[in-house]
């Protein structure tokens, strides 16, 4: 009987050690994941970080056309024709994307911006808040990493940004006009 008690105590002790090791490993993995998340968040490169809803004007070029939109109260309107009914959700998406542009990478002191498609002919995007105007140029698309090159007219920094920051501007004015609802009446 004495031998059985010793074996039982040994098995219980081994079980306690294994459970303790398991719980320690779970805690370590949680801590490690939290550390990785914090590290990734600290490495985010913000090109712009503006207060939500602070953008009150957007102007951009698309297929040779310059589209200018201004916020009139809570409604976005075309600067060239304020009577047009503009699709609000599309313009709100543009404003949200411009309020917080995140870059995957920056290329500092890019002396030849033309190699990134940021020379003559680059698409121009301008947006304004109450006190500041921001101007960026959309350069080439890098199909290998599915990103675009962005630049500004202030310095020689080139930003590598995701495509969602460009595709939201792939609308001409005609594309932004709400379609009139056709009413059909049964006779």
Q: What is the pLDDT of residues 114-141, one digit of tens each?
A: 999 998 889 999 999 999 999 999 999 9
In angstroms, the CA 68 to CA 78 distance is 6
Percent above pLDDT 70 for the chain: 91
Please report which confidence band the pLDDT of residue 181 belongs to, taking 50, 70 and 90 as the band edges: low
Angle at the Cα of 154 from the Cα atoms of 167 and 51, rounded to 5 degrees: 60
Sole residue written with tokens 């994307």: 97
Using DSSP bridges, classify how beta strands 75-78 and 147-152 pair: parallel, antiparallel or unpaired. Answer: unpaired
Residue 36: the pLDDT is 67
Q: CB–CB of 125/168 below 8 Å? A: no
And the tokens for 114? 């033309």
Q: CB–CB of 66/60 below 8 Å? A: yes
Please report which confidence band the pLDDT of residue 30 belongs to, taking 50, 70 and 90 as the band edges: confident
Top pLDDT among 4 and 95 is at: 95
Query: What's the DSSP call for residue 16?
Result: H
């Amino acid at each position: 009987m004495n031998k059985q008690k010793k074996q039982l105590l040994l098995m219980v002790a081994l079980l306690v050690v294994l459970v303790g090791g398991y719980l320690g490993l779970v805690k370590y993995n949680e801590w490690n994941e939290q550390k990785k998340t914090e590290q990734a968040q600290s490495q985010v490169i913000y090109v712009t970080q503006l207060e939500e809803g602070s953008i009150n004007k957007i102007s951009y070029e698309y297929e040779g056309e310059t589209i200018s939109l201004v916020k009139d109260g809570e409604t976005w309107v075309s600067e060239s024709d304020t009577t047009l009914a503009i699709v609000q959700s599309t313009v709100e998406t543009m404003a949200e994307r411009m309020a917080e542009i995140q870059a995957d990478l920056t290329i500092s002191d890019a002396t030849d911006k033309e190699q990134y498609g940021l020379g003559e002919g680059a698409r121009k995007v301008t947006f304004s808040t109450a006190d500041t105007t921001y101007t960026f140029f959309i350069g080439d698309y890098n199909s290998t990493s599915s990103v675009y090159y962005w630049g500004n007219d202030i310095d020689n920094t080139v930003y590598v940004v995701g495509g969602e920051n460009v595709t939201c501007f792939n609308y001409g004015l005609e594309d932004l006009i709400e379609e009139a609802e056709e009413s059909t009446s049964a006779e």
